[in-house]
Copies of this chain bind each other. A is one copy, B any other.
Amino acid sequence: MSDLPKSVTINEEGPREGFQTERGTIATERKIELIEALATTGLRQIQTVSFVPPANVPGMADADAVVAGIRRRPGVAYTALWLNEKGLQRALQAPNLDISGTVSLCPSAGFLMRNQKRTHEENVEAQRSILEMYKRNNVVVRRGGLMAAFGCNFDGDIPVSSVVEYVGRLLDLAAEAEVKLDYVSLADTMAWATPASIRRVIGEVRAKYPDLRLSLHLHDTRGMGIANAYAGLQMGVDIFDAAVAGLGGCPFAGHKGAAGNVCTEDLVFMCEEMGISTDVDLDRLIEVAGLAEDIVGHPLPGSVKTGGSLHKYRQANRAAA
């Protein structure tokens, strides 16, 4: 087990994922309630909202009010998402946020065209503009991202060599803008990854860029999220995006194709049980997962919130001994 990291950082994306994809209206104060509850669990980074046009994402229409309502807890970073200058300006005007920038590419031409209506060349130019926008606004850029790094509904399997190539392009773009990325996030955007492909892709990226810190953004659409996270841990990955209770996903067949990030408390359970520190109080996080279900008003896909932690069994066993 010597290659498992000693500790991991979890970037909680549940509020943004959940508030963005849930049908029906969630009251602003309940969104704030979830964010504040998450901040009591030991999680150190919480993505709160996305600043996107309300016409496109009605669930985010109150993003400014949500952020303004948060009572900050020391030691917790509150982040947000935006897709353009207009969104960034809203974020910069909001109180309570920890703003940093992301530059991202995508090895799949098909996904890029469908999702962002850009060719690879146009996307590189767009990323240059984004880096300039950050410089203009004195926003530090910390994160590189690679979407669809493990496969794509439009382009099919993505060659590992392409992933390595696009990591290189990302680093070149950053260097050109005199930006030093803290890490690069490999995203399994359309849930094509298996533990074997996680190991293969990370192995190849590591072989070329041994000093580059990597993180994983894993979707659980095909039930591989936790297994893929384990494969990442085996490769030394120590930053993961996750969503409390599996927010963003839904076990109802009616929500076809909807599936969120890997579930935070399931990931915390696995890490802590394997001796990998997350700094998260699992039993408290399980309570917050219950709160998330209460807020959205239907069951969410996480398992440990129902199965429970093992603490009470160990305590009873110690008491009996």
Interface residue ranges, A against B (CB under 8 Å):
1, 4, 151-157, 191-192, 194-197, 199-200, 220-224, 226-227, 229-231, 251-253, 256-257, 259, 263, 266, 269-270, 273-275, 293, 299, 301-304, 306-308, 310, 313-314, 317-318
Contact = CB atoms under 8 A, between A and B. Distances in A.
Contacts of A226: 223-224, 226-227
A308 to B, nearest CB: 8
B259 A306 contact: yes
A279 B263 CA distance: 31
B317 A222 contact: no
Contact of A253 (B223, B275, B299): B299
Given A1-B199, A224-B266, A230-B231, 4 more contacts: A1-B196, A194-B270, A195-B270, A227-B270
A299 B252 contact: yes
A310 to B, nearest CB: 6
Contact of A230 (B153, B195, B275, B318): B195
A152 to B, nearest CB: 8
A284 B68 CA distance: 51
Contacts of A308: 222, 257
A314 B227 contact: no
Contacts of A154: 313, 317
B303 A259 contact: yes
B266 A196 contact: no
Contacts of A222: 266, 269, 303-304, 307-308
B1 A157 contact: no
Contact of A307 (B194, B257, B302, B317): B257
Contacts of A221: 303, 306-307
A1 B196 CA distance: 7
Contact of A251 (B155, B251, B274, B310): B251
A257 B256 CA distance: 26
Given A230-B195, A306-B256, A263 B317 contact: no
7 contacts: A155-B317, A157-B314, A194-B270, A223-B269, A224-B226, A227-B227, A230-B231
A196 B155 contact: no
A313 B220 CA distance: 18
Contacts of A223: 226, 263, 266, 269, 302-304, 307
A89 B195 CA distance: 44
Given A224-B226, A226-B223, A310 B151 contact: yes
A196 B263 CA distance: 19
Contacts of A200: 1
A196 B275 contact: yes
A152 B317 CA distance: 10
